[in-house]
Amino acid sequence: MTNPDHNSTDRLMQMLQELQSLVERLSQLAQQQSELIEAGRTEALLSVLGLRQEVIDQFVASQAELATLLEQLPRDRDPSSEHSRQQIEDLVEAINGELAQVMERDSEDQKRLESNRDRTKNELSGVGTAKRAHHAYFKSKPVTTRFADHQG
């Protein structure tokens, strides 16, 4: 007969390993995102953002099951469960650390995107001002035909 606590611990370990893989993938995509922002490659950036959203959706979808498994974690203090508990804590710590790095990178990327947006806005404003100035200096004066002959 199998121990239900052992099965839930095994499932929790498996789920945490899956989450760790998702977070590693998210970190890789965050790195690509940063590089694409730096290079100004908007089309490729949108593609990476789509991939990131898929990974985030998978991560979020697993949260309810993760919470249930954590609640079912055995409460006893035998040596084998203590070893499992330490492994679980190590995995959770690794996942949290990687997520913190991704969030920090995202914050930096957001600042860079906002800066790029403001710079582009100022450049476009300058183009509009230059066009208005150009038109003001080179307005064509209407030709009056009051004294014109048949040649103009």
**What backbone torsions phi and psi does residue 139 show, to the nearest 5 degrees?**
-65, 135
Sign of CA dihedral 70, 71, 72, 76: positive
Query: What is the token pair recorded at 87?
Result: 């492994």
Distance between CA atoms of 42 and 51, rounded to whole angstroms?
Answer: 14
> Per residue in 17-73, pLDDT tens?
999 999 999 999 999 999 999 998 989 999 999 999 999 999 999 988 888 888 877
Contact 47, 33 (CB under 8 A): no
The full set of domain ranges for the chain reads 4-114
> Per residue in 87-143, pLDDT tens?
889 999 999 999 999 999 999 999 988 888 877 677 677 666 666 666 666 665 555
When the candidates are 1.10.287, 2.40.390, 1.20.58, 1.10.1060, the CATH number that belongs to 4-114 is 1.20.58
